[in-house]
Structures are given as C-alpha cells and as structure tokens.
Amino acid sequence: MRMIKGLWRWRRNPLRRKTDLAEAWAALVAAVLILLTAPATGWAAGSLAHGALARTAQEQRAERHLVAATVVKVLPQPPIDSDPETASARDAQRRVLAQWTGPDGSRHEGTLGARPSADPGETFRIWTDDQGRLRPRPLDSATAATHAALAGIGAGAATAGLVDGARRLVVWRLMRRRYAQWDIAWERARQDWGRADADS
C-alpha cells in the first residue's frame, strides 16, 4: 500500500524526475511479482518435493522390514567420550551382540545398539532390507511433509529474494543515472557562478 501511495505522490509533483517515477514503478512491479510468483513457486516446489519424498517413503516401506533380533550377549561400553552429544547417545543405548533372521530366511549376527536394560535372551525389533541387512528406519509421511513444506518455503523465499535483488539493481542503476545528471547540472551551474547577468 505504501508503494502505491508513493507512486501516486509522484504523479503530478513538479519536483518529480523521470528516475523518481521509474523507481516507484520498479517498487510496485517488484511487489506485485513477489505477491504472485513467490507463493506460486513455493507451492510448486513444495508439491514436487512432497511427491518425490512420498514415493521415496513408499519405496522404503516396501523394501524395509521390521524383524526381531535376539540379544546374544552384552558387549562392554567403548571408552568414555568427551563429546557430550555422542556421550548422551551412547548412554541411551547398550551395545549388544545380536542375532536375527532376514525376511528371506537368512541368519545374521552383528553388533547393535539396544535399550540400556537389554539382557541376553531378550528380543527387540530392527529394520532390515529383503536380504536381512541392517537399514535405517524408513521415511514416514510426517517427516516427508515437513521436508516438503520447508522446500516450498525456501523456494518462495528465494524467489522473493531474486525479485527484490532485481529491484535493488534497477534502483542502483537509477541512482547512478541520477547522480550523473546532478553532476552535469552542477557543472552548468558552476559556469554561471559569480556572473552579474547569471539571473537574466
């Protein structure tokens, strides 16, 4: 609204220069472009990202399986880590040697992280692929939607930034042109300084 008022103010102002009007129009065009293109770009990017992430989540859910692993023995904890982040993650799990059977019937054994109270003979669930190899938990729908929303917001913000950057470039060029015109006007005025007939 302020941009429109600024444009209207320059409509019939006797002090208005061409660069002033061009600057006001650049601001108005940039505002309209931001209002139209930023949401559209954000929506399109978010929709594309959501579609791709939803397909990835569906593929991961089809390829990964929850299987039961049995604790064979509890392994000693690694040496104390001075990093508080890794230390807290280490304290939240217990290293165990476990056995599990993959969806294809193959038997596997390996070192896993289990809950701190896990003892030999207890079972817990892990994610594997079709051959029983360990895999991370598949992407869930809520995480996919969150990532898609962030992608849309980022794309919309980037579009708004590009439009505003173009507007600033136009204003910068207009300012340079305005300063050049002022230099010419001052040069002409300086030639008349001190002359008795300068006002005539």
Residue 200 included in any domain: no
**Residue 69 pLDDT grade (very low, low, confident, very high; cuts 50, 70, 90):** very high
Per-residue model confidence (pLDDT) at position 79 = 62
131 plus 168 within the same structural domain: no
Per-residue model confidence (pLDDT) at position 13 = 66
Range of the domain at 165: 2-58+142-186
Residue 195 included in any domain: no
The residue from 137, 153, 173 where one domain ends is: 137
151 plus 128 within the same structural domain: no
146 plus 159 within the same structural domain: yes
Closest of 100, 132, 96, 97 to residue 115, by C-alpha:
96
Q: How many domains does the chain have?
A: 2
70 plus 106 within the same structural domain: yes
pLDDT in tens, 113-160: 888 777 888 899 999 999 999 999 999 989 999 999 999 999 999 999
Residue 104 included in any domain: yes
